[in-house]
Structure 1
Amino acid sequence: MAKLYPERIVIYPKDVENLIGKCERSASELLRQIRRALGKPRGAFVTLREFCYFTGMDEEEVRAELRKR
C-alpha cells in the first residue's frame, strides 16, 4: 500500500535550486527577496503559492515537479 504524504506548503532553497537551476546561494537570495517584498520577517517561511506568485511560475507545474523529488 502506498504511503500518502500531505501536500507541500513551504518551499526551501534546495527546492528552488532544483526548480530553476540556481546555486544554493542564489536560491536563498531569491527567497530573501520574496520575504522582503511580502514584508515577512527574517527566517519566515515562504509558501509555494507566494513563490509562484513572485516568480510567475505555474503553481500546479511546480507542485508536480516537487512531487517527483
Structure 2
Amino acid sequence: MFNIATGWLGWPPSEAWDTPVVEIVMAWDSKRQFLIDTNPFGGGGDKDKLDRKAVAKEARMGFRVAAMSRKKD
C-alpha cells in the first residue's frame, strides 16, 4: 500500500504511513477511474471493457511468453 500511496497517488511518506489501508485503496480506485474517464483516446466506456475470459486469455499468453523466454540453467 505504501508503494501505491507514494507512487501512484504522489503522497509524501509521512502521509502514506498515517493513512488507513482502506482510504489508500479508495483514493487509488478514484484516481484510476479519473484517468480512465479523462483519457483523450477513449477507453472510458463500458463498450471498451474486456470480459473476464479475454483478460484471462491475455494473462495466460503473457505468462507463457515469459516462461518460454526465461534462461534455462
TM-score with structure 1 setting the length? 0.31
Q: Which has the higher contact order (CA 8 A, sep 6+)?
A: 1
Structure richer in strand, relative to its length: 1
Higher helix proportion (structure 1 or 2): 2
Structure 2 length normalisation: TM-score? Answer: 0.30
Larger radius of gyration: 2
